[in-house]
Structure formats: C-alpha cells, structure tokens
C-alpha cells in the first residue's frame, strides 16, 4: 500500500477499530454481571478507564478557565450515567438492540432544530426502527420494557453528553475526556460499591475490569482521536453508524444473543438514519473532540 493510500485508509481503520474494540469490551463486560452485577461492572469499567486516561493525559498540566469546572462536572455526570443506564439495559435486552435504542440520543441532537425536508426522511427511519424495538404489547418486539426504558434513559444521557461536550471545544480532547471520566467515575462508584461491596476487590474481578477498561475505553478513545483529526465530521459520523451492527454481531458471536428478522430490520433503519444524517448534514461549527468520543 502506498503512503497516500495508507494515509487515506488510516482514519477509516481507526474508526472501525474503535467501534470493534468498544463492542468487544462491552461484550466481555457483560460476562462480569454474574459476579458484581451491572452496577459493579460499570464502576469497574468507568473507574479503571478514568485512571488509565488520567495517567495517559495528566490533565493537571493544563489550567481551566472560569466556568470550565461546572461544564466538566455536567459533562462527566452525563457520561457516567450514560454508562450506568446502558449497562443496566444490558441485563435484560440484547447488546445490539440496546445500542440501536441508545443511538436515538445523538440522532435527536443531530436533527434538533433542523428545518430541511430531507431530515424528515432520517427522522422517519429512526422512528420506524424504534417502533420495531419498543414493546408495544403486540408481540413484534418481545423486549423487556424495563431494559428498553434504561436504554432510552441512556440515550437521553448520550444526547446531554454531546451537548455538554460541545461546550468544552476550547479544551484539548485528552484534557476534557480525562477530567470528564474522572467525574464519571466518582458519579457511578457509589452505586457499584453499594451493590457489589467487597466483591469488587476480588483480584480476578479487578484484573478483568482493568482489561475491559483498556479494551472498551482507552483503545477506542485513542483511535477515535486519531480519526477525528483526519476525517470530516460527516465521514466520521457515517463510520460510527456501524456501531449497532457491530454490537449485534459481537452479541451473537460472544454472548450468543440471537435477534429476530424484525430486530435486524430495526437496526438497519437506525443505522440508515444515522448514515443519512451524517452524509447530508450541513458543515458544522468545529466541535470539541469530547463531544464525539464515547466510552
């Protein structure tokens, strides 16, 4: 491969690697549920992720402007509860379905305030996908209502996380994400400790949690930051739209979660809405990388 072709392929491979690592880490995390539950697993994953990124980026080297602390606090709390609620949803609904439902958060942010008729197409696709997943009581979905509610709440937190991340555009991504994850860890640790207690201190559980944090947070964030510096926002959005499909595939391979044809169709609708929204969006004002990086 020539240098120019490698330069073109590198950011695409970085996004694909990020999405795959994120999905693999979450699939592995779900296997910790029998030992420490979803709350304990969240505490381990977010806690170790925060430690890793604090060590890598050493955010104390940079100063904060007046008002930044409050912005980082909002950003971190949204990030922490996004993870907490998402992991809660994984207790009763398949991984790929949870990701597809959670995608309604960033889709809502992308479409909010739009006045173009074309965006109604992506909105209709997203609604069609969600309608196939939400438990309406007619037997099409057969998903646990509580799990779906957790996924929808995680979607709302994801939307808040994006909005708050945009307000940190003047900070280096490593600075904002490391501080945000630190706040996120402090937000979710009490829930994990209250639920799992001393089981969190088991050496095997700690080692598993550290591995999950590296695979599902440190690696994806590093790869996404490589891609964000080399890809237009629209192209990056299109590539990350693969996440529900990758999650569904890994859920099938790693967790043996089998989806119905209607559920695969729902995932395809949500992905199409995300791709269309990214492909035909207006050129945005430069966002903070923190508004894109998801752990």
pLDDT for res 286? 46
| Residue 138 confidence class, pLDDT cut points 50, 70, 90 | very low
Could you tell me where the DSSP H helices lie in the chain?
3-30, 33-57, 68-89, 95-102, 104-111, 117-133, 145-166, 173-196, 203-213, 219-228, 233-240, 243-254, 261-279
Cα–Cα distance between 105 and 156 in angstroms, integer? 5
Question: What integer is the mean pLDDT of 89-117?
Answer: 87
pLDDT at 295 over 80: no
pLDDT of residue 200: 96
Query: Does the residue 2 lie in any domain?
Result: no
Is there a domain that residue 7 lies in?
no
CA-CA distance, 143 to 257, in Å (whole number)? 13
Strongest mean pLDDT among 121-130, 147-156, 256-265:
147-156
Query: What mean pLDDT is predicted for residues 198-216?
Result: 95
pLDDT in tens, 168-198: 888 877 888 899 999 999 999 999 999 999 9
Burial class (CB in 10 A: 0-12, 13-18, 19+), 3: exposed
Whether pLDDT at 167 is above 90: no
What pLDDT sits at residue 20?
93
pLDDT at position 282 is 57
* C-beta separation of 164 from 71 below 8 A: yes
Q: What pLDDT sits at residue 218?
A: 79
Distance CA 208, CA 211 (A): 5
In the chain, the percentage of residues whose pLDDT exceeds 70 is 86
pLDDT at 30: 94
Reading phi first (left if > 0) and then psi (alpha if -120 to 50, else beta), residue 144 is in beta
Q: What is the number of domains present in the chain?
A: 1
d(CA 290, CA 277): 20
Q: Domain containing 55: what range?
A: 14-291
Q: What is the pLDDT of residue 225?
A: 73
Total length of the chain: 295
Rounded to whole angstroms, how far apart are CA atoms 227 and 210? 25
- Compute CA distances 271 → 8, 99, 117, 160, 282, whole Å: 23, 11, 19, 21, 19
Residue 194: count of CB within 10 angstroms of its CB: 11
Q: How far is CA 283 from the centre of its chain?
A: 23
Does the model's pTM come out above 0.85? yes
Considering the domain boundaries, does residue 201 fall inside one?
yes
- For residue 81, is it within any domain? yes
Averaged pLDDT, 253-280:
88
In a domain, 9, yes or no: no
Q: What is the mean pLDDT of residues 265-274?
A: 90
- Please give the residue that has the higher pLDDT: either 141 or 118: 118
Residue 227, CA atoms < 13 Å, CB-side half-sphere: 26
pLDDT at 207 over 60: yes
Domain assignment present for 60: yes
Interatomic CA distance for residues 222 and 42, integer angstroms? 20
Q: Roughly how many angstroms between the first and final C-alpha of the chain, as a whole number?
A: 32
Tens digits of per-residue pLDDT, 51-95?
999 998 899 888 888 889 999 999 999 999 999 999 999 999 999
Q: Which residue has the higher pLDDT, 145 or 278?
A: 145
| Two tokens, residue 136 | 């309406």
In a domain, 216, yes or no: yes
**Max CA pair span of the chain:** 56
Q: How many CB atoms lie within 10 A of CB 254?
A: 16
| Weakest mean pLDDT among 126-135, 219-228, 277-286 | 277-286
Q: Is residue 25 part of a domain?
A: yes
């Amino acid at each position: 491969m020539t240098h120019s072709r490698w330069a073109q392929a590198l950011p695409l491979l970085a996004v694909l690697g990020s999405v795959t690592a994120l999905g693999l880490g979450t699939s592995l995390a779900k296997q910790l549920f029998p030992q420490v539950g979803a709350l304990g697993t969240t505490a381990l994953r977010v806690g170790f992720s925060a430690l890793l990124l604090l060590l890598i980026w050493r955010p104390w080297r940079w100063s904060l402007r007046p008002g930044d602390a409050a912005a980082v606090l909002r950003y971190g709390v949204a990030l922490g509860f996004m993870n907490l609620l998402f992991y809660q949803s994984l207790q009763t609904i398949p991984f790929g379905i949870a990701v597809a439902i959670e995608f309604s958060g960033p889709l809502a942010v992308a479409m909010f305030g739009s006045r173009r008729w074309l965006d109604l197409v992506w909105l209709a696709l997203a609604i069609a996908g969600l309608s196939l997943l939400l438990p309406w009581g007619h037997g099409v979905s057969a998903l646990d209502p509580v799990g779906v509610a957790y996924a929808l709440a995680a979607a709302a937190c994801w939307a808040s996380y994006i909005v708050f991340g945009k307000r940190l555009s003047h900070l280096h991504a490593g600075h904002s994400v490391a501080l945000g994850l630190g706040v996120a860890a402090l937000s979710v640790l009490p829930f994990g400790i209250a639920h799992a207690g001393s089981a969190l201190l088991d050496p095997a559980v700690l080692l598993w949690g550290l591995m999950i944090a590296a695979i599902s947070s440190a690696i994806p964030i590093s790869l996404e930051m490589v891609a964000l510096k080399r890809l237009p926002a629209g192209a990056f959005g299109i590539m990350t739209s693969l996440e529900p499909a990758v999650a569904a595939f890994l859920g099938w391979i790693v967790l043996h979660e089998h989806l119905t044809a209607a559920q695969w169709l729902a995932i395809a609708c949500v992905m199409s809405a995300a791709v269309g929204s990214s492909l035909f969006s207006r050129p945005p004002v430069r966002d903070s990388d923190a508004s894109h990086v998801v752990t």
